[in-house]
């Protein structure tokens, strides 16, 4: 059984997704990470379409790839001209990649109505382009665009387009569901028909699917079962419209479910990190519910589930999360039982009573607070502090004495905020004032400034997300609001929460918990004994 080859087109097809754009430097960084991960082919872009892609190939020419073959992408020659005269083909050769992927028309509708040429000329375009690039010493991968739609409407002609590419020496024939509208059983039947057509001369087939029916991964897996040995896709499923086949799902399915290993188990453990790296590079928020690599992929909320995984994880997990670089998470909410609390407390290194009394008490308190609007599955930091308070282990590293926030606006300038805060640290009081672009920003700056005199390492902590939600809008301006804050330092990300009828009070609760959590992690650091005048 031939190994499955992974062909990544994140840098070309993936970049066509809405709101996704890579700089040349980002494309280079992503390509290097994909190479380290073990991808076999990396499609770097279409050098004939824009200067940025050509600049990437010029940079890539100076880089040694250890696993992947870098690939340039482009179309067949234009109707009526010789390949040597085609600007697109000249750009592909100038990119200097060892492999070139060419797409051609398989659907007679496109040939006649979009390209405005004859069926015979289209076959010549495919044949002559592949032959020309082969003569230049390049590996040629032929993408049969709209193959499945073309096969459905005119099977004889769609197969002739594949034959033209194969006769000219294409190493791979990649069948493309370009519109993403075909169903898995249609994909399977078509791939089998192609294999029958080439029964006397076996060819190497690939699959390229889009996700417009939500079936891109399923269709890719189906094609592999039917005989394809190359699978094209993008990391995180990025791509035009509804996206491409998601390699972060396809790869573990092949390795862990189908016994068709395409990368080593050691490399597979880097799947979630590379998914997050590419999300960051694309400036896209990671999808929590993404299979295998999402933050929620192995998250457990129901008490029955948690009780079971504490005994045997496979009872509610289809694979070991660590196999793909992920981890198990237990969520705390009004659905939680004492099993959730005990698991989460152990995960966060908080000691609770062994007789079960404390865990039941904590679970009851959580359910009571969630009725008021708290949501602890969003706030690990606040959960840890709550447990420590209930079990009388909480040692506050600072105490609020008072704060005052003022917002100023005149007709010529935007709003500005000023905060004055008075805190106590180890019996020493500090009063500090600061400005900010809003009241929460001003409070954050004032608290950070005051604490910095006692805890000098706070510069590494940053507030990265701030969310406000009205819990029940029927009370109008008196409605309770929930404020969630996400903070991070160089090693950790944590979330905290506050609830109040006053948005500033709710923000303070979340902000204070965030700083308390951060400072509690610095176990070896003790506040300096300053005697500041107040």
Q: What is the pLDDT of residues 160-219, one digit of tens each?
A: 999 999 999 999 999 999 999 999 999 999 999 999 999 998 899 999 999 999 999 999
pLDDT band at 530 (very low <50, low <70, confident <90, very high): very low
Flag whether pLDDT at 472 surpasses 80: no
Tell me the mean pLDDT in the region 508-523: 85
Tell me the mean pLDDT in the region 16-41: 94
Tell me the mean pLDDT in the region 320-348: 74
Of 143-147, 224-228, 274-278, 415-419, the range with the lowest mean pLDDT is: 415-419
Residue 26: helix, strand or coil by DSSP? helix
Tell me the mean pLDDT in the region 261-273: 95
pLDDT at 34: 97
Q: Which residue has the higher pLDDT, 199 or 307?
A: 199
Please report, for residues 101, 110, 112, 169, the alpha-carbon distance to residue 143 in angstroms, rounded to integers and kept in the order given.
7, 15, 19, 13
pLDDT at 132: 97
Tell me the mean pLDDT in the region 261-285: 92
Tell me the mean pLDDT in the region 255-260: 95
Flag whether pLDDT at 360 surpasses 60: yes
Judge contact between 134 and 76, C-beta under 8 A.
Answer: no
Flag whether pLDDT at 278 surpasses 60: yes
Tell me the mean pLDDT in the region 39-63: 92
Residue 295: helix, strand or coil by DSSP? coil
Flag whether pLDDT at 525 surpasses 70: no
pLDDT band at 377 (very low <50, low <70, confident <90, very high): low
pLDDT at 100: 97
pLDDT at 93: 96
pLDDT band at 475 (very low <50, low <70, confident <90, very high): low
Rounded percentage of the chain residues whose pLDDT exceeds 90 = 60
- The span from the CA of 216 to the CA of 212, in Å, is 8
pLDDT at 369: 77
Flag whether pLDDT at 235 surpasses 70: yes
* CATH tag for 399-521 (out of 3.30.160.270, 3.30.70.20, 3.90.226.30, 3.40.1260.10): 3.30.160.270
pTM: 0.74
- The span from the CA of 273 to the CA of 271, in Å, is 6
Strands 413-425 and 428-436: antiparallel
Flag whether pLDDT at 527 surpasses 60: no
- The span from the CA of 143 to the CA of 131, in Å, is 15
Burial status of residue 412 (CB atoms within 10 A of its CB: 0-12, 13-18, 19 or more):
exposed
pLDDT band at 526 (very low <50, low <70, confident <90, very high): very low
The pLDDT mean for the chain works out to: 88
Does 3.20.20.70 match the CATH number of domain 5-263?
Answer: yes
Rg for the chain, CA atoms, rounded: 29
Flag whether pLDDT at 532 surpasses 50: no
pLDDT at 321: 92
- The span from the CA of 466 to the CA of 208, in Å, is 39
pLDDT at 394: 82
Flag whether pLDDT at 524 surpasses 60: no
Q: Which residues of 286-309 are buried (b: 16+ CB within 10 A; e: fewer)?
A: ebeebbbbbbebbbbbbbebbbbb
pLDDT at 463: 82
CA atoms in the 13 A half-sphere facing the CB of 453: 19
pLDDT at 371: 73
Flag whether pLDDT at 245 surpasses 90: yes
CA atoms in the 13 A half-sphere facing the CB of 338: 10
H or E stretch covering 460: none
Q: Which sequence spans correspond to the domains of the chain?
A: 5-263, 299-390, 399-521
Q: What is the pLDDT of residues 115-156, one digit of tens each?
A: 999 999 999 999 999 999 999 999 999 999 999 999 999 999
Q: What is the pLDDT of residues 425-453, one digit of tens each?
A: 988 999 999 998 888 889 999 998 999 88
pLDDT band at 477 (very low <50, low <70, confident <90, very high): low
Flag whether pLDDT at 58 surpasses 60: yes
């Amino acid at each position: 059984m031939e190994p499955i080859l992974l062909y990544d087109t994140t840098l070309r097809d993936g970049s066509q997704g809405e709101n996704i754009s890579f700089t040349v430097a980002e494309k280079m960084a992503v390509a290097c990470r994909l190479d380290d991960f073990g991808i076999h082919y990396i499609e770097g872009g279409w050098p004939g379409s824009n200067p940025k892609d050509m600049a990437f190939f010029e940079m890539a020419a100076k880089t040694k790839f250890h696993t992947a073959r870098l690939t340039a992408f482009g179309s067949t020659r234009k109707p009526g001209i010789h390949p040597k005269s085609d600007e697109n083909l000249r750009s592909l050769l100038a990119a200097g990649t060892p492999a070139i992927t060419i797409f051609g028309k398989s659907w007679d509708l496109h040939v006649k109505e979009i390209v405005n040429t004859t069926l015979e000329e289209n076959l010549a375009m495919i044949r002559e382009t592949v032959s020309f690039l082969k003569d230049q010493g390049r590996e040629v991968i032929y993408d049969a665009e709209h193959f499945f739609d073309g096969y459905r409407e005119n099977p004889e002609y769609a197969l002739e387009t594949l034959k033209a590419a194969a006769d000219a020496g294409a190493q791979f024939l990649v069948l493309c569901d370009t519109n993403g509208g075909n169903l898995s059983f249609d994909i399977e039947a078509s791939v089998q028909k192609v294999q029958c057509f080439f029964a006397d001369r076996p060819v190497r087939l690939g699959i390229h699917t889009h996700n417009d029916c939500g079936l891109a991964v399923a269709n890719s897996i189906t094609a592999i079962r039917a005989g394809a040995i190359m699978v094209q896709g993008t990391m995180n499923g990025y791509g035009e419209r509804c996206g491409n086949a998601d390699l972060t799902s396809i790869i573990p399915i092949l390795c862990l479910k189908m016994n068709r290993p395409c990368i080593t188990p050691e490399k597979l453990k880097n799947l979630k990190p590379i998914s997050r790296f590419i999300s960051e590079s694309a400036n896209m928020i990671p999808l929590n519910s993404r299979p295998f690599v999402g933050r929620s992929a192995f998250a457990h909320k129901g008490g029955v589930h948690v009780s079971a995984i504490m005994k045997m994880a496979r009872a509610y997990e289809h694979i070991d999360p660590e196999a793909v670089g992920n981890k198990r998470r237990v969520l705390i909410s009004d659905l939680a039982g004492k099993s959730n609390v005990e698991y989460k407390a152990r995960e966060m290194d908080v000691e609770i009573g062994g007789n079960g009394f404390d865990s039941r008490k904590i679970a009851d308190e959580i359910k009571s607070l969630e009725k008021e609007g708290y949501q602890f599955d969003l706030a690990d930091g606040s959960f840890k502090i709550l447990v420590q308070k209930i079990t009388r282990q909480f040692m506050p590293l600072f105490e609020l004495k008072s704060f005052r926030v003022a917002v100023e606006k005149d007709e010529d300038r935007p709003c500005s905020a000023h905060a004055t805060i008075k805190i106590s640290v180890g019996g020493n009081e500090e009063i500090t004032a600061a400005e900010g672009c809003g009241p929460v920003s001003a409070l954050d700056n004032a608290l950070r400034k005051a604490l910095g005199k006692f805890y000098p390492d706070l510069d590494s902590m940053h507030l990265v997300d701030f969310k406000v939600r009205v819990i029940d809008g029927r009370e109008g301006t008196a409605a309770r609001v929930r404020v969630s804050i996400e903070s991070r330092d160089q090693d950790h990300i944590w979330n905290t929460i506050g609830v109040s009828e006053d948005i500033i009070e709710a923000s303070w609760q979340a902000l204070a918990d965030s700083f308390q959590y951060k400072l509690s992690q610095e176990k070896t650091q003790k506040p300096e004994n300053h005697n500041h005048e107040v």
